[in-house]
């Protein structure tokens, strides 16, 4: 009996060992099966993909910002290059202007010397033509009195004026009109006394901005015959338009005088425009001389000297101003 009980006991212990091992194996299989669960793998994969996508988006954003920065840097470099070129051009232009200014200063100095020479020649010529009793009484070149209510232009329409000085004539007429913002009447004659507006012959032309523009415009195609002597035009203006109480200024524009005697012209105008009982002259006579016959670096022609001498004396005797231009530009 004792022997049979010992065998049963040994058999029971071996079975428990087998059962325990089997249970452990099953648990191990279950653990392994949990780790290899497809849903868990899929979740991990999705997380990894999400992280990769997020990093890719960040990378693309950084690359885009880098491209924009590169473009802005390139644009700034181009702007800097343009500014550098502009600065270089401006420096070159400044150097050119400085050179021109120096040349202009030298040219003005030479012109001043020439004008002084011309003034000396004029004085000698006037003394020769007007006699030894002549004394220069007027040193005034600029400063036009602007107290007139009526303006008459007497313009030399000779070929030399038309070809060389006509654009300058327009500018000077505009400058004269600017001195008088508004007048009671205007008129335009040539040096022979011929009217620009034949329909207004012997009458005052009403002043207006439109009429002033019309006068300058019509001047372009106005070319009546001229003998390069302002005497006829001045006489016609005084005889036709003077009335007591009228303040009139005559502006004579020309480049030379082809007449024989300056003294006779001065006397004739003085006789016609003489003052009464100590009063002022009937009209003012101004003159502008255009340097058409003043060759650069040379001496003026005899007719140009005669015109300057004549108009200088006429303007002084008749309460006006003579202006001798030194350029046709």
Per-domain residue ranges for the chain? Answer: 137-324
Largest separation between any pair of C-alpha atoms in the chain: 189
Architecture in CATH of 137-324: 3-Layer(aba) Sandwich (3.40)
Nearest one of 141, 164, 156 to 252, comparing CA atoms: 156
Q: Please tell me the distance from the alpha carbon of residue 122 to that of residue 150, in angstroms, as a whole number.
A: 31
Strand partners, 323: 288
pLDDT at 104: 77
Whether residue 12 is predicted with pLDDT greater than 80 in this model: the reply is no
Q: What is the tens place of the pLDDT at every residue in 271-308?
A: 888 776 555 788 999 999 999 988 777 778 888 889 99
Alpha-carbon distance 155 to 132, whole Å?
32
Q: How far apart are CA 241 and CA 204, in angstroms?
A: 8
pLDDT confidence band for 117 (50 / 70 / 90): low
Does residue 251 carry a pLDDT above 80?
yes
Nearest to 153 by CA among 61, 80, 222, 101: 222
Residues 154/190, Cβ–Cβ less than 8 Å:
yes
DSSP state, 301? P
pLDDT average, residue stretch 12-34? 63
- pTM surpassing 0.85? no
Q: What is the mean pLDDT of residues 108-129?
A: 59
How sure is the predictor about 4, in pLDDT bands with cuts at 50, 70 and 90?
A: low
- Nearest 5°: the CA angle 116, 120, 125 is 145
Give the residue-averaged pLDDT of 175-183.
Answer: 91
Is residue 253 scored above 90 in pLDDT? yes
Question: Cβ atoms within 10 A of the Cβ of 186, count?
Answer: 21
Tens digit of pLDDT for each residue in 127-142? 655 555 544 443 333 4
Statement: residue 32 has pLDDT above 80: no
Mean pLDDT of 16-44: 63
Answer whether residue 324 shows pLDDT above 60.
yes
Tell me the pLDDT of the chain averaged across its residues: 81
For residues 268 and 114, the model is more confident at: 268
């Amino acid at each position: 009996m004792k022997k049979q009980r010992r065998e049963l006991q040994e058999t029971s212990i071996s079975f428990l060992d087998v059962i325990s091992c089997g249970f452990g194996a099953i648990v191990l299989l279950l653990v392994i099966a949990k780790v290899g669960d497809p849903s868990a793998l899929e979740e991990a994969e999705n997380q990894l993909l999400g992280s990769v996508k997020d990093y890719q988006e960040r990378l693309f954003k950084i690359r885009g910002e880098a491209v924009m920065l590169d473009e802005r840097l390139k644009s700034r470099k181009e702007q800097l290059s343009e500014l550098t070129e502009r600065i270089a051009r401006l420096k070159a232009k400044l150097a050119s202007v400085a050179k021109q200014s120096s040349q202009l200063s030298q040219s003005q100095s030479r012109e001043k010397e020439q004008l002084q020479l011309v003034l000396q020649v004029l004085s000698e010529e006037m003394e020769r033509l007007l006699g030894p009793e002549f004394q220069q009484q007027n040193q005034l070149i600029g400063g036009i009195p602007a107290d007139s209510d009526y303006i008459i232009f007497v313009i030399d329409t000779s070929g030399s004026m038309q070809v060389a000085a006509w654009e300058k004539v327009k500018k000077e007429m505009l400058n004269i009109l600017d001195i008088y913002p508004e007048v009671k009447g205007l008129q335009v004659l040539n040096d022979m006394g011929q009217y620009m507006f034949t329909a207004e012959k012997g009458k005052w032309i009403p002043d207006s901005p439109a009429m002033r523009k019309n006068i300058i415009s019509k001047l372009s195609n106005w070319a009546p015959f001229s003998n390069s002597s302002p005497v006829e035009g001045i006489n016609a203006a005084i005889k036709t338009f003077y009335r007591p109480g009228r303040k009139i200024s005559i502006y004579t524009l020309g480049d030379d005088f082809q007449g024989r005697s300056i003294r006779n012209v001065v006397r004739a105008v003085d006789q016609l425009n003489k003052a009464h009982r100590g009063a002022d002259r009937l009209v003012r006579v101004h003159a502008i001389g255009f340097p058409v016959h003043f060759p650069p670096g040379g001496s003026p022609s005899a007719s140009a000297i005669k015109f300057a001498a004549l108009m200088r004396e006429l303007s002084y005797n008749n309460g006006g101003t003579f202006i001798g231009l030194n350029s046709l530009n």
